[in-house]
Structure 1
Amino acid sequence: MRVLLVEDDKKAAALLARGLGEEGFVVDIAGSAEDGEEKAFVADYDLIVLDWMLPGKGGLSLCSQLRARGVATPILMLTARDALSDRVSGLNAGADDYLTKPFAFEELLARARALLRRSELTRPTILGIDDLSLDPLTQRVTRAGAVLNLTQKEYAILHMLLRYAGEVVSRARLAEQVWKADLLAIDNLIDAHMSNLRRKVDAPGARGLIHTVRGRGFRLTSEEDQGA
């Protein structure tokens, strides 16, 4: 599970990130609302942990903007403001839950897991297109009933392509989300992994599903792609 932590207090952010990391979460830290907004639109997160008091544009404003732009990721708001009116404001801005500081890490973890369980109920358990399927819970990938043995990076690439099936996924977006790196640093690496993934998914005799869209990125579709 991938978490975006928007917190300007570097010490608090480091402690929370370490604790969540020990519980199996992958955590990205944003030190401002602007940084958090950019990250939320570049990568896909399962949960956003958002501090109310941020420099410049506050957490409440960021929460409202994310919801206005269609980001449905569960948001857990952290704040020292414990008045009823503040809690109502946070929830009305689009937060799914509200945790008052100071708090025990165990409570934050329990609330985070509860939000993730609630979110999973609205997500399709199995992702698929044509005769290709991927189970995010077991990470089992099959094509025409046969199990595909993918590396961790190949699985991450395919998962992303399936989540945006029919849409073009840019090379830069793959670099950011799968490798957390700049495209220039790993451009050739993307090509190598994509080539290996194609050999496994689009085996000889099978309909080609992974298409290269010149100058833009990659698209997963069962339709013939004119940009390939």
Structure 2
Amino acid sequence: MRILMIEDNKSVCEMVEMFFSKEGITGEFVNNGLEGYNRYKSSDWDLLIIDWMLPGMDGVTLCRKIRQENSSIPIIMLTAKDSESDQVLGLEMGADDYVTKPFSPLALMARIKAVARRYNKTNNEKEDGHSLESKHIKINRETREVLIHNQSIQNLTPKEFDLLSYFVQHPRQVFSREQLLERVWGYQFYGDERTVDVHIKRLRKKIGTAEQPFFHTVWGVGYKFDESLVETNEN
């Protein structure tokens, strides 16, 4: 994998670079948000790691700008902010995941390896030309195209696409947040399940309606995918 890390803390970069070397990952490190954006534009990358607080351009603005231009590249955010609103904001700007500082490099590597596994899975699906289809949704996992009611949906992030694909494969089956983190994100995400909630919320907004939200909350358990219309009570 080729990873661009945009982080202004030199010691953090040196620590991550050491682990990259051990894992055979090619990494490049930039310490300024604007310079990082220009470097991102100048080459092809498999994954971006972006710090929240950066000179030149802050990480949230950078993430939003990149996501508007490229919906397919995975983005992990590094943040020293541990409030729920800050973490949710990063996800809503298009990050696929976040790691809170101070962090263990092993935790970061777990997320990177999860992305690598998804890349390998996607490559195998390309070879098979595999596609998914439900009553109202068509998914081409080779081109990562989604049609809802025959209308193209083009603004899904990589993780939103993966999550939707998984649910379409398992209609009406209820999954806990822990199960979704393990099966879709590819690792056990200890202690914090808001990542799932934010991605479900974003998918509902992007592909659902009040009459057909697709994703239903099963209180006390988790979520299920159901294409049935929501019953409404009329007076």
TM-score range, shorter chain: 0.5 to 0.7
* Deviation of the 1:121 alpha carbon: 3.5
Q: Does the 8 Å contact 2:15/2:105 carry over to 1? A: no
Q: CA deviation at 1:20?
A: 1.1
Structure 1 equivalent of residue 114 of structure 2: 114
Structure 1 spans left out of the alignment, 5+ residues? 128-228
- The CA deviation at 1:17 is 1.3
CA distance in 2, matches of 1:30, 1:106: 21
SS at match of 1:121: helix
Tell me what 1:68 maps to.
68
Aligned to 2:91: 91
How far is 1:70 from its partner? 1.9
How far apart are the structure 2 equivalents of 1:54 and 1:24?
27
Change (3 A) 1:39 1:71: farther
CA RMSD of aligned residues (A): 1.8
Q: Deviations over 1:66-120 (max 9, x none)?
A: 0111252111101111111111101111101111111111111001111232244
Runs of 5+ unmatched residues, structure 2: 128-235
Is residue 2:55 matched to residue 1:55?
Answer: yes
Partner Cα distance (1:7, 1:70) in 2: 20
Q: CA deviation at 1:9?
A: 1.1
Letter in 1 for 2:43: A
Larger radius of gyration: 1
Aligned partners of 1:67 and 1:73: how far apart in 2?
A: 8
What are the residue-to-residue correspondences of 1:97-176 with 2, within 5 Å? Answer: 97-123=97-123
Partner of 1:37: 37
Q: Does the 8 A contact of 1:9 with 1:31 survive in 2?
A: yes
Partner Cα distance (1:120, 1:71) in 2: 19
Q: Is the 8 A contact 1:74 1:119 kept in 2?
A: no
1:151-190 Cα deviation digits (max 9, x unpaired): xxxxxxxxxxxxxxxxxxxxxxxxxxxxxxxxxxxxxxxx
Partner SS state of residue 57, structure 1: coil
Give the aligned partner of residue 20 of structure 2.
Answer: 20
- Over 3 Å counting, the alpha-carbon distance change for 1:39 and 1:55 in structure 2 is same
CA distance 1:123–1:62, change in 2 (3 Å): farther
Q: Which amino acid aligns with 1:56?
A: G
CA distance in 2, matches of 1:115, 1:126: 16
Give, as a single letter, the amino acid of the residue that structure 2 aligns with 1:41.
K
Q: Match of 1:17, as an amino acid?
A: E
Separation in 2, partners of 1:124, 1:38: 32
- Matches of 2:115 and 2:5, distance apart in 1: 15
Amino acid at match of 2:114: A
TM-superposed CA distance for 1:12, in Å, is: 1.5
TM-score, normalised to structure 1, is 0.52
Change (3 A) 1:71 1:24: same
